[in-house]
Amino acid sequence: MKPLVFEREALKQQLSQVNGQVPKDTIKADQIEQRIAECNEEINRVVKPFSEFTEGVRSLLNQIKSAFRFLPLSPSMQELRKEVEKLPLLLRGLGADGTEARDDLLAIRMRLSELATQSRQGNPSLRIEIPPGTKWENMHMRFLSRETVEIATPDSRRHYNFSELGFEDRRKSGAPNTAWVFLRELALAKGNEFKRPLSEPAKVEKAVQALRKRLKDLFGLDDDPFHPYRQVKHYAPKFKLSFPNPVDH
């Protein structure tokens, strides 16, 4: 199709030159206009199926956006909605040779691929909004099952699974990482106190470090979510942590 587009543009320039001549060569002008019309007809024939396809994509994205606006979404899905809102809608049309629509479709494909990857890996960028001045002591994380928790802050109470909170093991799709496992064990421990084991203490410490970092990022708090180990001689969260049905663990 590009040769036709280039030919059409060249013919338009020729036509402009002919129309500017005195006296005007009307026969040549008519021939050029006829050829331009033929080029347009051929281009339209080629791009018609693609035009229908891009219109379908545009309609689909509009439907997705509308659905996201009216659904009750968790914070993680709200983040996904914002990303979908940023997707190009092919509003520029096809362009002279279809390249603008092609670039838009490529951008959509790449962004959807990124979102799919992010979904599989959880959402490390998720931030749970909390009121200013909120401290760890003002929050409660309650396990509802091995894979889900209820997080209660001073102004909200929501349910999440480990993947939504960014605790999925990237090496094992669909499985929680060691930080989540430790959080669960801590919830099951008496008084939420977990002493560093004599065997493999470094492994536990690594899980604690990962959990500490994730919790700080999740709530946007700089404070350590754990009491100082050297003082209390065990790992203990500052926030309330519970597993009301230990039999489910």
Q: Which of 80-89, 206-215, 227-236, 237-246 is the least confident region? A: 80-89
Sign of CA dihedral 105, 107, 113, 118: negative
Q: How far is CA 212 from CA 32, 151, 155, 182, 215, in A?
A: 73, 16, 23, 11, 5
Output the pLDDT for position 85.
61
Whole-number Å distance between alpha carbons of 208 and 213: 9
Please give the share of the chain, as a percent, with pLDDT higher than 90: 25
pLDDT, mean of residues 36-50: 79
Is the distance from CB of 188 to CB of 159 less than 8 angstroms? no
Strand 156-161 with 240-242, pairing: unpaired
Q: How far is CA 55 from CA 52, 67, 90, 99, in A?
A: 5, 18, 8, 15
Please, what is the average pLDDT of the chain? 77
Q: How far is CA 213 from CA 1, 71, 224, in A?
A: 54, 31, 9
pLDDT tens string 141-199: 999 999 999 999 998 888 988 988 989 887 877 789 999 999 999 999 888 888 776 67
pTM equals 0.50
Three-class SS state of 211: helix
How many beta carbons lie within 10 A of that of residue 176, not counting itself?
A: 21
Three-class SS state of 196: coil
User: Hey, what long-range contacts does 103-111 have (CB within 8 A, 24 or more apart)?
Assistant: 104/54, 105/54, 105/57, 108/57, 108/61, 111/83, 111/86, 111/87
pLDDT tens string 101-130: 555 556 556 655 555 555 444 455 578 889
Q: What is the 3-state secondary structure (H, E, C) of 40-58?
A: HHHHHHHHHHHHHHHHHHH
Cα 123 versus chain centre, distance: 8
